[in-house]
Amino acid sequence: MNYTFEKLTPECEPLVTKYSSLRPIYTSEGQFINQYIWSDFYGTEFAYTENYMFFKMKIKNEYATMMPYCKVEHIEQAFFEIKDYFNNVLNVPLKMYIVDELFLNTIKQSERFQTEFSVEEMRDAFDYIYDAEKLRTLSGKSYHKKKNHLNAFKKAYEGRYEYRTLHCCDTKEISDFHMEWLQNRNVTERLDAISSEESGVFRLFDHCSLLPFKMGGVYVDGKLSAYSIGSYNPELKCAFIHIEKGSVDIRGIYNYINQQFIINEFPDAEIVNREDDLGEEGLRKSKLSYRPIRLEQKFNLFQK
């Protein structure tokens, strides 16, 4: 089968979301905002048929794809038609990244799959899923340290801090803070990925009024000192936190914006996806300390 590919643009968001809603997808990559942020980094294009949509991208200069969006009953059809496209049109073996557990368990029932493909678990890419109300209240013994950091921030900056919902008119201020945050970090190990994240975030700002995301910020002494970007999937009742940056020299500011962003921007959310830890030890420790209710598993599928 041949496909017609299109680039991800703000205008195609309703179409992409229509396909991603064909079944529940809890991975961050199942949300348009995540895909859009990283689309330049991977050169992402998409194609669709009546039953499914999938992405074509370059990873380490090789053609690859991600899990297609489709109903469960169309997983096998989509998978093998995409495989044929990679084999017969691109003339390369199929590499499919970021496959969730339901997709994997469905396609594993095929003997063709078992014969032709290997599976790799991607622990570094597992998304952390939390109980939204726990993040709002930080109640219980397991959140005692988090509450201590939060209270330390409130006490140290009493009368000097404020949470604000941010809007498109605030994007210049956010961009300036983001660049200041970057300059204060040691980012040499992940420079390419962080630079791409910046590029994606700034593209969000360029098309702010066209895209469905929310922003919030914490001001200390009238200066933006932390901000967060997220989106909401009402069918899943899940808030997805795509970006969160805070001044590293202000104790407790991450705890505060984490809590206030969910309280103010996603009051109806029952669960929160705070994305992966990239295999970074410190980030993993931090995300585990917030007591996720589960990890959303992801896998890679490689044609032998």
Instruction: For residue range 85-141, list pLDDT tens digits in order.
Output: 999 999 999 999 999 999 999 999 999 999 999 999 999 999 999 999 999 999 988
Domain borders along the chain are: 6-125, 127-275
Architecture of domain 127-275 in this structure: 3-Layer(aba) Sandwich (3.40)
Q: How far is CA 228 from CA 44, 87, 162, 246, 296, in A?
A: 24, 41, 14, 9, 21
Over the stretch 180-235, which tens digit does the pLDDT of each residue have? 888 776 554 444 445 667 888 999 999 999 999 999 999 999 999 999 999 999 99
Pairing of strands 117-121, 271-273: unpaired
- Output phi, psi for 269, to 5 deg: -65, 135
Same fold, 6-125 and 127-275: yes
Global model pTM greater than 0.95: no
| Confidence grade of residue 237 (pLDDT, cut at 50, 70, 90) | very high
Domain 6-125 has CATH 3.40.630.30: yes
